[in-house]
Amino acid sequence: QSALTQPPSASGSPGQSVTIFCTGTSSDVGHYNYVSWYQQYPGKAPKLIIYEVTERPSGVPDRFSGSKSGNTASLTVSGLQAEDEANYYCSSYAGNDNLIFGGGTKLTVL
Amino acid sequence: QVQLVQSGAGVKKPGASVKVSCKSSGYSFTGYYMHWVRQAPGQGPEWMGWINLNSGGTHYVQKFQGWVTMTRDTSISTAYLEMTRLKSDDTAVYYCARGPSRQLVYYFNYWGQGTLVTVSS
């Protein structure tokens, strides 16, 4: 199973919104509503920020939102803050007890 | 609160074996699944499989079958990842991770701090 495709980088100014895309196939992102997003700071473990495409764990600011259209999922960060500068990874269930991740997007707050 | 505390970093020679531990606290250990995820330097995470902490049943990604073994010791609430025949491209940070519920889910809101395994001659 191939990894999900993410742009290597994204950027925005404080207060702006930025959207990160995650492209899979009809066998993973397009087939299951089990897309998750993780935020990771250098040297730290990933932190779950979105699960099941649109759901936010408790404690995650509502500035983070997720959606999906066809084989592409997206993470939108609204009202960008300096602390949002991190790496973001998507993942999707791919059937047959299989989970795949994206290669990651480095978000820079200008 | 749920905590997953992993063993320390190590350097291994190619062909060697390593066993990474993940000690749980703050929840009923046997009620959940533990997943293992690795992340090579500068790369995205790679899911390796899971172990049912109650039954000990396991599921491995095909590329890890035959040389990776996930086990657990319920008496000390610890899960283990053992890898044999290590190669240089197994150099990565290895994480244990758990989902939010007793059901088998494929997203993780609890993570260990990671264990760096370096394979180098």
The DSSP annotation for chain A comes to -PPBB--SEEEE-TT--EEEEEE--TTTTTT-S-EEEEEE-TTS--EEEEBTTTB--TTS-TTEEEEEETTEEEEEE-S--GGG-EEEEEEEE-SSS-EEEB--EEEEE-
Q: Do the chains contact at B59 and A3, CB–CB below 8 Å? A: no
Instruction: List CB contacts (< 8 A) between A91 and chain B.
Output: 45, 47, 106-107
Which tens digits make up the pLDDT trace of A7-60? 999 999 999 999 999 999 999 999 999 999 999 999 999 999 999 999 999 999
Question: How wide is the angle at C-alpha B109 spanned by C-alphas A108 and A45, nearest 5°?
Answer: 50
Instruction: List CB contacts (< 8 A) between A101 and chain B.
Output: 44-47
What are B80's strand-pairing partners?
B21, B71
Which tens digits make up the pLDDT trace of B41-75? 999 999 999 999 999 999 999 999 999 999 999 99
* A98 vs B61, B107, B108: nearest CB: B61
Q: Are B84 and B17 in contact (CB under 8 A)?
A: yes
List average pLDDT for each run of 10 residues in chain B, which is 121 residues long.
96 98 96 97 96 96 96 97 97 97 94 98 94
Q: Are A24 and A30 in contact (CB under 8 A)?
A: yes
Which percentage of chain B shows pLDDT scores above 70?
A: 100
Q: Do the chains contact at A48 and B112, CB–CB below 8 Å? A: no
Binning pLDDT at 50, 70 and 90, where does residue A1 land?
low
Q: Do the chains contact at B44 and A38, CB–CB below 8 Å? A: no
Mutate to test the interface with A, among B107, B108, B109, B111 (most CBs of A within 10 A): B107
Binning pLDDT at 50, 70 and 90, where does residue A2 land?
confident
